[in-house]
Amino acid sequence: NQQYYKQKFDANRQDRYYNVGDLVLKRFSTFPSKLAALYSHPMIVIEQQHPTYFIQDQNDQQIYRVHVSQLRPCKV
């Protein structure tokens, strides 16, 4: 039964891939309040090792290592 539901779920599931140079939003790990932002400002993908990505903050040049599930595409 569980395998049946897994197959149904996986039928429409698509993995997300980002290329080097793409702009992404990083999900915050903690939220100070209900009205706080869920995602950061745009950051640049500098290295891809799917499912782990290295992204760089444009403001302070800090590099973060994050899982693909914590990223969203930035639509500018």
Question: In what side-by-side order are the strands of the sheet with 71-73?
Answer: 63-67, 52-57, 43-49, 23-26, 71-73
- Chain segment 37-56, per-residue pLDDT in tens: 999 999 999 999 989 999 99
Strand 71-73 to 23-26 pairing: antiparallel
User: CB pairs under 8 A, 24+ apart, for 41-49?
Assistant: 42/74, 42/76, 45/18, 45/19, 45/20, 45/21, 46/20, 47/20, 48/17, 48/18, 48/19, 48/20
Enumerate the domain spans of the chain.
Answer: 17-73
Q: What is the pLDDT of residues 11-39, one digit of tens each?
A: 988 889 999 999 999 999 887 888 989 99
pTM (2 d.p.): 0.81
Classified by CATH at the fold level, domain 17-73 comes out as SH3 type barrels. (2.30.30)
